[in-house]
Structure 1
Amino acid sequence: METSVPPGKEVLIAVMGVTGAGKSYFVREVSGHQEVKKGTSQVESYSFQHAGSTITLVDTPGFNDTTRTDTEVLAEICQWTSKTYKEERLLSGIIYLHRITDVRMDSSAVKNLRTFQKLCGRSALRNVFLTTTQWSKVTDQAEGEMRERDLCGERNFWGILLEKGATLQRFHGTRESGLKLIDQLVPKQPEALDIQDQIVTQKRTIIETDAGQCINEDLIEQEKRYREEIESLERERQAAVDEKDDQMKELIAEEQAKAQEKLEKAAAEKRRLAEMHAEEMRKRDIEKQREEERRKEEQREAQAKLEKAEAEKRRKEEQHAEELRKQQEREERRIKAEQERAAAEANRLAALHAAQIREQQEREARARREAQEKAAAEARRLEELHAAQIREQQERDARLRIEEQEKAAAEARRLEAIHRENLERSRRNRDRGGIGIRIGPIGFKIRF
């Protein structure tokens, strides 16, 4: 199940560990998704926003699940990790949970841890947090810390993982405690798991992976151990028969039945792993066959395309040659037409030039005639004007002489009048007694 969140930087973190270690509780408490159920049987992821990033916690089933075999769990994990690897979504970290309340690490936990190590690979261990849980149930803190030291000091347990780069952490059951772990994983460089590289890149089947080999080897060991146990119990049962100890015989028979059931379960899981390998190989063969068919089909299509391309090339070459021939003919016609147009234009221009010369000569002749006529007319006009000016001058001179004569006559008359007046005045003056006036040509004098 994938939850929808706003886009942002995704930090992908897987939560792993044995069944009952608190994986689902961790995911539910830290992510806030209350729908997370305890004891998940399949890989489920839950996303939430934290510190500007999209945190995706991946809840995984444990390898010692009572309802599913380790082979089925590994197949589930392989399917999910392969899908995310193809999507280029790498894990930024793995939080591996272990109950601190466990007095000792049983065989299933050791097997789980060994498979986990093979699943991760060395490079991814740098991003692994080996995290103890359920510290609130530890009554003696010193005892819990001693168990933690035992886990870290034992190479068969966590010691070897810590040596290869894993980090020891604690989860105290709160969201704040879980977010502190996540805050440490956010800046880490995402790493591909060995199982992802082996399944997707190297094209291995599950049994061919390191984790698959680990499970297969454990199943072989279980078969051997259960057979030996059954044989030993059979000897004990036979001894009880010989001793006629019916009660012991029944107890041994019950133990034999349990061992036989475990043997059959291990054998069935081993067969299932082999069947998965065979199925993968069959799918691979089918895919290979399909790929070969696709390759052949692609070759046929490529050959058909090549032949089509060659035919198209020939057609285009022929078309091009035909176009070139037509173009050459068009060019020749165009050049011929251009030459004819050029000759016609030259003739037209020559005729036009001759016409222009004739027209120019006619214009010049007309201009000369017009100039001569204008000069003659101007000469006549000037002569007439000169004669008119002479006549006007003569008339003006005549008028001036007449005016001067009239003015002289008027002046004479005026002087004569003055003279007469003066004579009259002089006469009157003599009569009165002695004042005489002499009138000259231009004035008069008074004598006493």
Structure 2
Amino acid sequence: MAGDTIILLIGSRGSGKTSFVKFAGGIGVDPSPTTACRAYGIEGKSFSSFTVIDTPGLDDLPSGNLAILKDIAQTLVTLGSPKVTGAIFFHRITDTRLGGSARSHLDIFRNLCGDGFAEQAAFVTTMWNTIGRSGLQKYQLLESELRVKHFSIGPGGNASFRFGNSRVSAVEVLEHFADRPARRQLLFAEEVTRFGSSLSGMRKTSAGVAVMRKSGGGKCVIL
């Protein structure tokens, strides 16, 4: 692997995680939907070397999301439980309604990180390359509202970026984590050490509890 620092990618299906890996590393990745965690070594001239973990997209089924948590846990164990330097949540900017699924996925992400990991978490909006100039202002306003109302972990705001299916925009995100020490461990990684990486162990983690929590249904219009 390229580095001992770990960046974990989380998001709904089709949110752009695998495309981010492709453009960040200039490497070929399987274009089909990601069905299992895969670690990629990424090196760059302007940023540190990272191991980036691409994960399957979260869905509406608790059983499926628990299986994804198990896969993440076992991947971290396989990598030797190194420090997780950062975690990134991906969201399609073209989704103008933050439905129950998206809110629950954000809840899972927050519980994966834990409040103490706030400085090492980031949010990335995707699909900017699909937006024409005429619709840009609309989505810029949406981005601002997402940042203020939804993209936060713990006190204060968190870093947020745009990814437009380009090497430049992907590298900008990784540069944020360059030389950023892992002051705190990812809460989920700590809990895997405590509870193990089995499905029963996943149910005991904060993220597992979030998976099983009822979303409440309905949709919240944010634009």
1:148 Cα deviation after fit: 0.7
Q: Name the residue aligned to 1:78.
A: 73
**Which one-letter code corresponds to 1:77 in the other structure?**
I
Which secondary structure state, in structure 2, belongs to the residue aligned with residue 29 of structure 1? helix
Cα deviation code 1:395-437 (max 9, x no counterpart)? xxxxxxxxxxxxxxxxxxxxxxxxxxxxxxxxxxxxxxxxxxx
Give the partner amino acid of 1:43.
C
Q: Deviations over 1:210-236 (max 9, x none)?
A: 1111122228x68xx9xxxxxxxxxxx
Aligned identity (percent) is 23
The question of 1:174 aligning with 2:166 is answered yes
1:282-306, Cα deviation, whole Å (9 max, x unpaired) = xxxxxxxxxxxxxxxxxxxxxxxxx
After the TM superposition, which residues 30-429 of structure 1 pair with which residues of structure 2 at under 5 Å, given as runs? Answer: 30-51=24-45, 53-64=48-59, 69-84=64-79, 87-139=80-132, 140-154=135-149, 157-158=150-151, 160-161=152-153, 163-190=155-182, 191-201=184-194, 205-218=201-214
Q: Take 1:78 and 1:144, find their aligned partners in 2: how far apart are those partners?
A: 35
Report which of the two has the higher share of strand: 2
Higher share of residues assigned helix: 1
Secondary structure of 1:69 counterpart: helix
Matched length:
210
Q: Distance in 1 between matches of 2:140 and 2:29?
A: 33
1:172 offset after TM fit, Å?
2.1
**Shift, 1:168, TM fit:** 1.6
Alpha-carbon distance, 1:165 to partner: 4.9
C-alpha deviation, 1:42, in angstroms:
0.8
Distance 1:193 1:59, change over 3 A: same
Using the alignment, how far apart are the partners of 1:20 and 1:161 within structure 2?
A: 23
Residues of 2 paired with 1:184 and 1:142: CA distance? 25
List 4+ stretches of structure 1 deviating above 4 A: none
> What is the TM-score normalised by the length of structure 2?
0.83
Q: Distance in 2 between matches of 1:178 and 1:98?
A: 14
Q: Secondary structure, in 3 states, of the residue corresponding to 1:50?
A: coil
Larger Rg: 1
Aligned partners of 2:118 and 2:158 also within 8 Å: yes
Distance 2:123 2:95 in 1: 15
- Looking at structure 1, the residues matched to 55 and 185 of structure 2 have their Cα atoms a distance apart, in angstroms, of 17
Deviation at 1:12, TM superposition (A): 1.9
- Hey, what's the Cα distance between the residues in 1 that align with 2:118 and 2:201? 23
Rounded Cα–Cα distance in structure 1 between residues aligned with 2:32 and 2:85 = 24
Asked if the contact 2:91–2:126 (Cα under 8 Å) also holds between the matched residues in 1, the reply is yes
- For 1:409, the equivalent position in structure 2 comes to none
Q: Name the Cα RMSD after superposition.
A: 2.5
TM-score (norm 1): 0.43
Counterpart-to-counterpart distance in 1, 2:191 and 2:103: 23
Unaligned segments of structure 1, at least 5 residues: 226-448
The structural deviation recorded for 1:114 is: 0.3
* Alignment check: 8 A CA contact 1:95 1:128 kept: yes
The separation in 2 between residues aligned to 1:91 and 1:164, in whole angstroms, is 21
CA distance change for structure 1 residues 88 and 215 in 2, over 3 Å: closer, same or farther?
Answer: closer
1:38 CA displacement:
3.4
- Amino acid paired to 2:104: K
